[in-house]
Amino acid sequence: MGTNCSLFAVGQSRGRLLEGEFWVRRLAARLTRFSADSELSKLNASPGRWVDVSPELEALLKESLLAFENSAGLVNVAVLRSMEAVGYTRPLSEGLPVATEPRLSRLPALPDVLAVRAGAARLEPGAGIDLGGIAKGWMADRLRDSLGPNALANLGGDLSAGGAGPAGDGWPVGLGPTTVLLHDQGAATSSVRQRRWSEQHHLIDPRTGLPACTGLEEVSVVATSGVEAEVVAKAALLVGPQLAPIYCAAHALAWWLSP
């Protein structure tokens, strides 16, 4: 997944945690956009046609449509062409990106370019999907549930915590400069400080198709699940410093903003 992942569970064996790790690796390989053989890349390479998809990809695409609706379009996975336009065509571990295409404009509305039905999905010509943080949050939630009643999954900063934690008072998680205790909750951070090259970064503003520049550099939130925290954190960063506190007060359980 191009990031650090950690799993913790009370009362589970090391073998059970390794099973969770292998599940993450297998699913991440199917969802990456950096491999032409991945399930996601095959969907992106088949514009205008219904493509068979696995239950996991079907669920993630439906989650992405829900995230678009709940964020008033600010969280939009139809971002692949903009990612390519700013040069983010390979993992940063393989070298700094170089922009090779003209800059793009506002992203298309996700429901206009993505259709999902039982066992299949269809993309309109010219559209491309990058599941990004939504995939991490969604996977963290399911991994937490699979590890038992007292567990935490951290997939690159998208966290999902269940149960009372190792000491019985919750799972300790950093939220900006403070520590909070999570109990059946999720947390996520959206940031433009990481995955940077030159004057560019990976977080695209769907209103412009360009790397976001909103006056906020990092937002961390706690919400009822990992995937919800991911969506709220990204949307809050995109609305900027004036509206982010109001947005977080309506959609998050706790938050931290950094200009």
Count Cα atoms within 13 angstroms, Cβ side, for 121: 29
pLDDT tens string 186-221: 999 998 877 666 666 679 999 999 899 999 999 999
Neighbours of 26 (CB within 10 A): 11
The H-assigned helical ranges of the chain are 14-31, 39-44, 55-70, 80-85, 110-113, 132-146, 226-239, 244-251
Q: Smallest Cα–Cα separation from 155: which of 164, 142, 167, 168?
A: 142
The domain 5-258 is placed in CATH, from the list 3.10.520.10, 3.40.50.10490, 1.10.3210.10, 3.40.50.1000, at 3.10.520.10
Query: Measured on CA atoms in the order 15, 16, 18, 19, is the torsion positive or negative?
Result: positive
Q: Per-domain residue ranges for the chain?
A: 5-258
Please tell me whether residue 211 adopts helix, strand or coil conformation.
strand
pLDDT tens string 81-137: 998 888 888 887 777 667 665 566 789 999 999 999 999 999 999 999 999 889 999
